[in-house]
């Protein structure tokens, strides 16, 4: 098209007169892919029309109408276009045209259609080498070559098939051998004594065969030749007394070949033969001491001889002094020394090679050692000199080192091989670090000990008090003026043994730390609800032992518990026993026992039920557990006064324990019938409470079946908010140390206002007794009280020392003795 368009522009006369014309039509010679991934096209330019001509290659792909220009005019040389991987698609037919353009016009080649797969033709293999070998007397040709090199090395993983052709030099016909994918070939059945020409070519998959590689020629030796000349490899003297020379034989020419070593010494004409071919192995000659001279030069040659002839090696000149190469040192010993007070160091010791006679002075060896950490790259080399041991100090602890040693004669010769690798583990340098650590540990521990002992000294008496509680005296503190004004307090005071009125400071020391009330009557009158929480009862009982003293905080409940266990076989039917009988029986001891038994049984039951029962019962009330704490022991404060006058120190325990008698159990002896009547009144009230509880838990009857439970009550709380009342509480287990103190002015509590759940007795101040109102106090309020009590808890702990307690609790008249027992 271009031609047609442009040709009118050229006026024929004008053009021809200048001899210039549009370029001739170029011709695409061939397109070729070496490896299917790229391809190149070459063209032959037409005439240039005597003007500079540009050649442009355009191509289009079969599926597209676009024309593209050649991506690379250079790679494949002049007048070529190289399509790299990105421009080569094996599934596309390329339509290629070359256009030649000059000033006058242009000319396009005929289009060439290219399918990449069909134009694959690799380059010829390279590096063809030939070798003749003899195996089992059969001569064969061994040919090796390399695949064709590719411009793009990354695509050099193609598998080529090879073909080898050979012919005797003087013949025309080639013999072709298909090799396969290997790059070597063994050719047998060759004519001896003939020179062969060999070529090789390759093919990629189903493309075209490459060109034949360049020719290689080889003379196949016939059996008639003499051996090749051998080569002397080296001579070595291991100990500067003897030496050995080795040679490498050449081709033997297909015949058995003898090798002869001949030597002459400097300044001598005479030629000697090797004295010993055997000692040093095949193809070697050993010169013993007799045949070894120093300070002279040996001229050594090796002659190979077979029946066809002989060949002599190049001469080898040896000055024995300078070919001494000892064997490596032996007995390399690595030893780690750990001297006291210094860092550990490594001692290396070794022996000279056994052959070397270093004692004569004839051979003096110098040593060099090298070492590195096992994983290290670089050797650290140390020249040691003539000594055969060396100390290394600067080694990294915790690393494993490899050590090697070699040796060399002084001033001449060469280094031996390295000795075999020796390993040594440098231990971690624990000494310094551990010393520091141990010092710190020691200082700290001694400091702690010091502090502890100091504390012991300071607080010793308290600790002793914990362990061996002091004998408490009855103390009721803070009988306030109000109480005194009533006049009723006299009895109380006398009962407490505080004589003289008004109470002196001595009397004030008599704190009421523990108020206990025995109410076997109540127990009988009201069905107790203690079934679910027998442990509470048990605790209460144990409390009871020392209750009357107002102290007893340190008493162990276990004593009683054990006591109880002794008779735990008692059936529960006892619970149905008439309470009155027990009451009138007045045998507190016995009632105690039964109570113990009952409670012990309850304990067992309780333990089966749940361990949670150790919590404050009031909080438990709304929960599963039956209201077994509806109060059976109800005594008003007044009655306490009365009963305390009639204290029976009942050593209910077997009496072998002295302190039992010191913390006696208070037994209420109801001598006075009036008092008893009062009690009955109270009992009737408690009955009401009980009834209430029963109503709430109708199903759970068993707790009410135990009439014999006799509980001691602690003063838990003197409530001051509305109606000041003393809450008496069952002594329970150690978890409940809540204390109820009355911070307000001292008051006398003579009336029981109510029995709240969980063994809490609410006492009313004498002045205003509101039985009925308090009776119906719900358990919720109780729990509130509990919370208050917890707030006051802190005060409870120091009370083992009465004097301190007095200070801290000044103003609080009533305290819960249980709170004074930190061990519970």
- Give least dist CB 352 to other proteins, A: 12
Category of 176 on φ-ψ map: left (φ > 0), alpha (ψ -120 to 50) or beta: beta
Which of 278/289 has CB closer to other proteins? 289
Run of H or E including 305: strand 297-306
Q: C-beta of 387: minimal distance to other proteins in Å?
A: 9
Q: Report the residue number, 386 or 794, with the smaller CB distance to other proteins.
A: 386
Give the C-alpha distances (Å, rounded to integers) separating 427 from 391, 399, 423, 439, 638.
16, 7, 13, 22, 84
Evaluate whether 666 touches 713 at the Cβ level (below 8 Å). Answer: no
Torsion of CA 696, 702, 706, 707, to 10 degrees: 50
**Which of 224/266 has CB closer to other proteins?**
266
Which two three-digit tokens encode residue 92? 């596309």
Q: Minimum distance between the CB of residue 238 and other proteins, rounded to whole angstroms?
A: 13
Tell me whether residue 314 or residue 417 sits nearer to other proteins (CB atom): 314
The nearest distance, CB 148 to other proteins, in angstroms, is: 42
Burial class (CB in 10 A: 0-12, 13-18, 19+), 469: buried
**DSSP letters for 533-572:** -HHHHHHHHHHHHTGGGT--TT--THHHHHHHHHTTT--G
Name the site residues for other proteins (rule: CB under 8 A). Answer: 240-241, 266-267, 289, 292-297, 299, 315-317, 319, 321, 357-362, 364, 386, 410-412
Q: Which is nearer to other proteins, 361 or 655 (CB)?
A: 361
CB of 292 to other proteins, least distance (A): 6
Pair 217, 196: CB distance under 8 Å: yes
Q: How far is the CB of 220 from other proteins (least distance, A)?
A: 34
Angle value at C-alpha 618, between 615 and 624, nearest 5 degrees: 80
Q: Which is nearer to other proteins, 120 or 300 (CB)?
A: 300
- In this structure, which long-range contacts are made by residues 560-563, counting pairs with CB atoms below 8 Å and at least 24 apart in sequence? 560/596, 560/653, 561/600, 561/603, 563/596, 563/653
Task: Find all residues with CB under 8 Å of 288, minimum gap 6, and list them.
Answer: 242, 275, 276, 279
Compute the least distance from the CB of residue 411 to other proteins, in Å: 5
Strand partners, 472: none
Nearest-Å Rg of the Cα atoms of the chain is 61
Residue closer to other proteins (CB basis): 317 or 454: 317
C-beta closer to other proteins: residue 300 or 710? 300
Is the distance from CB of 305 to CB of 260 less than 8 angstroms? Answer: yes
Beta carbon nearer to other proteins, 278 or 359: 359
If the CB atoms of residues 206 and 411 are measured against other proteins, the closer one turns out to be 411
137 or 361: CB nearest other proteins = 361
Strands (E), 109-194: 112-115, 126-135, 138-146, 160-168, 175-180, 184-187
User: Shortest approach of other proteins to residue 285 CB, angstroms?
Assistant: 17
| C-beta of 327 vs 480, nearer to other proteins | 327
Nearest distance, CB of residue 120 and other proteins, angstroms = 54
How far apart are the C-alpha atoms of 250 and 228, rounded to whole Å? 5
* Cα(691)–Cα(702) distance, integer angstroms: 14
Q: Based on CB atoms, which residue is closest to other proteins, 235 or 642? A: 235
Give me the residue label for tokens 């009439």. Answer: 707
Closest CB 382 distance from other proteins, rounded Å: 20
**Which residues are 381's β-sheet partners?**
370
Contact criterion met (CB below 8 Å) for 215 and 169: no
φ, ψ (nearest 5 deg) of residue 404: -140, 150
Shortest distance (Å) from residue 123 CB to other proteins: 43
Tell the smallest beta-carbon distance from residue 404 to other proteins (Å): 25
419: closest CA among 462, 454, 384? 384
Q: How far apart are CA 24 and CA 783, in angstroms?
A: 119
Minimum Å distance from CB 240 to other proteins? 7
**496 SS3 class:** helix
**Identity of the residue, 74 or 359, whose beta carbon is nearer to other proteins in the bound complex:** 359
Question: In the numeric block, which tokens belong to residue 784?
Answer: 């509130």
In the complex with other proteins, which residue's Cβ is closer, 293 or 607? 293
Q: How far is the CB of 294 from other proteins (least distance, A)?
A: 5
Are 591 and 710 contacting, i.e. CB atoms less than 8 angstroms apart? yes
CB 323 within 8 A of CB 243: yes
Yes or no: say if 667 and 652 are a contact pair by the CB < 8 Å rule: no
User: Can you give the three-state secondary structure of 747-815, one letter per residue?
Assistant: CCEEEEEEEECCCEEEEEECCCCCHHHHHCCCHHHHHHHHHHHHHCHHHHHHHHCHHHHHHHCCCCCEC
C-beta of 387 vs 567, nearer to other proteins: 387
Residue with Cβ nearer other proteins (268 or 434): 268
CB of 312 to other proteins, least distance (A): 15
Q: How far is CA 186 from CA 129, 134, 180, 231, in A?
A: 12, 11, 12, 27
Alpha-carbon separation of residue 614 from 617, 761, 820 (angstroms): 8, 19, 18
């Amino acid at each position: 098209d271009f031609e047609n368009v442009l040709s009118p522009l050229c006026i024929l006369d004008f053009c021809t007169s200048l001899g210039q014309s549009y370029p001739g039509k170029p011709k695409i010679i061939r397109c070729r892919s070496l490896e299917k991934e790229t391809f190149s096209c070459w063209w032959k330019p037409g005439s240039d029309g005597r003007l500079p001509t540009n050649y442009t290659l355009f191509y289009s792909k079969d599926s597209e109408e676009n024309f593209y220009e050649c991506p690379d005019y250079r790679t494949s040389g002049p007048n070529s276009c190289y399509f790299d991987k990105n421009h080569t698609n094996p599934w596309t037919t390329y339509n290629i045209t070359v256009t030649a353009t000059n000033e006058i016009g242009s000319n396009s080649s005929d289009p060439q259609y290219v399918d990449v797969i069909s134009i694959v033709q690799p380059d010829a293999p390279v590096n063809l080498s030939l070798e003749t070998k003899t195996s089992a007397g059969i001569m064969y040709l061994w040919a090796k070559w390399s695949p064709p090199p590719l411009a793009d090395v990354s695509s050099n993983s193609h598998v080529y098939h090879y073909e080898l052709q050979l012919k005797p030099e003087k013949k025309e016909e080639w013999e072709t051998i298909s090799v396969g994918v290997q790059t070597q070939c063994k050719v047998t059945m060759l004519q001896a004594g003939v020179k062969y020409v060999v070529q090789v070519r390759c093919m990629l998959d189903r493309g075209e065969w490459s060109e034949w590689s360049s020719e290689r020629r080889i003379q196949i030796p016939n059996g008639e030749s003499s051996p090749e000349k051998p080569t002397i490899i080296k001579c070595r003297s291991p100990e500067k007394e003897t030496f050995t020379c080795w040679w490498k034989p050449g081709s033997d020419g297909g015949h058995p070949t003898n090798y002869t070593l001949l030597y002459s010494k400097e300044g001598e004409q005479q030629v000697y033969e090797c004295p010993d071919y055997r000692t040093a192995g095949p193809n070697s000659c050993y010169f013993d001491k007799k045949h070894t001279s120093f300070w002279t030069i040996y001229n050594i040659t090796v002659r190979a001889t077979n029946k066809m002839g002989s060949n002599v090696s190049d001469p080898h000149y040896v000055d024995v002094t300078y070919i001494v190469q000892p064997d490596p040192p032996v007995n390399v010993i690595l030893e780690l020394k750990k001297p006291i007070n210094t860092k550990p160091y490594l001692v290396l010791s070794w022996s000279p090679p056994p052959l070397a006679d270093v004692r004569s002075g004839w051979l003096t060896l110098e040593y060099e050692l090298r070492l590195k950490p096992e994983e290290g790259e670089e050797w650290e080399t140390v020249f040691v000199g003539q000594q055969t041991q060396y100390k290394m100090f600067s080694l990294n602890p915790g690393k494993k080192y490899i050590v090697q040693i070699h040796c060399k004669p002084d001033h001449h010769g060469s280094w031996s091989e390295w000795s075999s690798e020796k390993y040594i583990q440098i231990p971690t340098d624990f000494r310094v670090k551990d010393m520091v650590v141990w010092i710190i540990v020691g200082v700290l521990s001694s400091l702690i000990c010091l502090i502890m002992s100091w504390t012991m000294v300071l607080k010793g008496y308290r600790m002793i008090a914990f362990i061996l509680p002091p004998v408490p005296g009855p103390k009721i503190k803070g009988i306030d003026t109000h109480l005194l004004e009533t006049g009723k307090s006299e009895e109380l005071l006398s009962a407490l043994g505080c004589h003289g009125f008004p109470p002196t400071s001595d009397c004030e020391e008599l704190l009421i730390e523990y108020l206990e009330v025995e109410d076997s009557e109540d127990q009988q009158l009201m069905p107790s609800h203690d079934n679910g929480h027998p442990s509470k009862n048990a605790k209460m009982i144990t409390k009871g032992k020392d209750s009357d003293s107002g102290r007893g905080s340190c008493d162990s409940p276990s004593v009683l518990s054990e006591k109880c266990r002794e008779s735990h076989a008692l059936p529960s039917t006892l619970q149905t026993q008439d309470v009155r009988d027990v009451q009138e029986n007045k045998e507190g001891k016995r009632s105690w026992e039964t109570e113990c038994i009952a409670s012990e049984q309850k304990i067992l039951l309780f333990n089966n039920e749940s361990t949670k029962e150790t919590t404050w019962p009031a909080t438990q009330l709304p929960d599963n557990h039956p209201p077994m704490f509806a109060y059976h022991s109800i005594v008003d404060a007044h009655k306490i006064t009365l009963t305390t006058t009639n204290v029976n120190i009942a050593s209910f325990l077997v009496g072998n324990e002295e302190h039992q008698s010191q913390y006696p159990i208070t037994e209420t002896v109801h001598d006075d019938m009036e008092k008893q009547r009062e009690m009955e009144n109270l009992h009737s009230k408690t009955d009401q409470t009980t009834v209430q509880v029963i109503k709430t838990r109708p199903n759970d009857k068993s707790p009410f079946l135990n009439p014999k439970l006799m509980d001691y009550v602690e003063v838990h709380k003197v409530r001051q908010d509305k109606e000041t009342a003393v809450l008496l509480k069952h002594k329970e287990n150690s978890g409940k140390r809540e204390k109820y103190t009355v911070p307000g002015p001292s008051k006398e509590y003579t009336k029981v206002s109510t029995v709240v759940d969980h063994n809490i007795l609410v006492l009313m101040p004498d002045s205003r007794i509101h039985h009925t109102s308090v009776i119906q106090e719900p358990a919720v309020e109780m729990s509130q009280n509990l919370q208050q009590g917890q707030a006051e808890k802190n005060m409870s702990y120091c009370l083992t020392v009465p004097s301190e307690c007095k200070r801290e609790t000044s103003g609080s008249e009533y305290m819960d003795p249980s709170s004074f027992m930190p061990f519970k």
